[in-house]
Amino acid sequence: MTLSPLDDHPVHQAAQVMRHVTTGDRNFYDRYYFNCHAASDELMLIVGLGQYPNLGVTDAFACVRTQDLHRVVRASRELGADRMDTRIGPFGVKVVEGLKRLRVVLEPNEHGLSFDLHWEGTIPATLEPRHFLRRQERVVFDSMRMAQTGRWTGHITLGEREIEVTPDRWTGTRDRSWGVRPVGEPEPPGIQATGPGTFYWLYAPMQFDDHAVLCIVQEDERGRRVLEEAVRVWSDGREEEYLGRPEYRPVYAPGTRDVVEAVLTFAPPGGKPFDVRCTPLLPVRLMVGTGYGLEQDWRHGMYQGPGPVVQGVTYRLPDDAPKMWGMVDAVGRFEYDGLVGHGLFEYWALGPHPSFTG
């Protein structure tokens, strides 16, 4: 039972020190996620930083995608007693003003990517529905997440190129999630290996001039809803507007599960239904190099030693494109009722689903 600086704040939720969580589940995590782009197909930067208290690990990654490059810098170390210390080698996240302003840093390093970026939210941070999924009797997901759209100020250095980031052009989304989800070293699959393994998913937080629309759709192999969200959040803090059950109609590139366009339909209770046309502008294979699950030697929460251990991974496109697979985080263009917005278009269609027979 080791104290940390966080124990001096009146934030305790259990008869534990703050470094200990109330569950012994190895898969408990606590993570930041950010993306940054210029509402175009020029560049997308994705950053994540997580803590895994029951695995004793903290790690971070930054992934940048341009038309011809997919580059990742990643770092890991033992978590230690102080969960307020987010530094992992060259990485760090600082909360400047809770739920509003943050600073995200990757200091100069040998891997050709660094940045110093300041985030400011354009809508109030919004709590999403609890994500709970039990598979073959085991709880696989039990987590909470808040989402926010915002703008960036600072700079990104990619190789020899210095990119000025100004809030008039550079936008993005962020989330904070915590709870239980698969992390760390592979576990014996047991009965979990016999299930369908479906993950049919859409996550689309989109920013318009004076509001955002936040949308989630997750379904199982029979098309039954596991999780959904559809709200309009106003930048001036007005109450969220519930938009009813969202419907998702993607169009895939022939012979693939890569989405080339999609339509989201919303039907606000007592209001006029409307369609949002979605176009992915710059797809990023989120699971390549970042720790989300493809590399057997580097996954979120996997112990890499006392650390900090820092690595770089670079793929040249299109030559390395066939090696890429999994969840896609794309810069998205969104249009409805004469309005044009941009945000995150995240999707994955894994396994059987009624809407996909290819």
**Separation between Cα atoms, residue 173 and residue 270, nearest integer Å:** 29
In single-letter form, the type of residue at position 66 comes to T
pLDDT at 358 over 70: no
Q: What's the pTM?
A: 0.96
pLDDT digits (tens, 9 = 90+) for 147-200: 999 999 999 999 999 999 999 999 999 999 999 999 999 888 888 777 767 899
Instruction: Name the fold adopted by 26-187+195-350.
Output: AttH-like fold (2.40.370)
Nearest Cα neighbor of 232 from 259, 189, 266 is 266
By C-alpha distance, which of 334, 312, 254, 324 is closest to 284? 324
Dihedral of the CA atoms 257, 245, 211, 277 (nearest 10)? 40
Contacts of 274 (CB under 8 A, 6+ apart): 265, 266, 336, 337
Q: What is the mean pLDDT of the chain?
A: 95
**pLDDT digits 0-9 by tens, 54-71:** 999 999 999 999 999 999
Per domain, the residue ranges of the chain are: 26-187+195-350
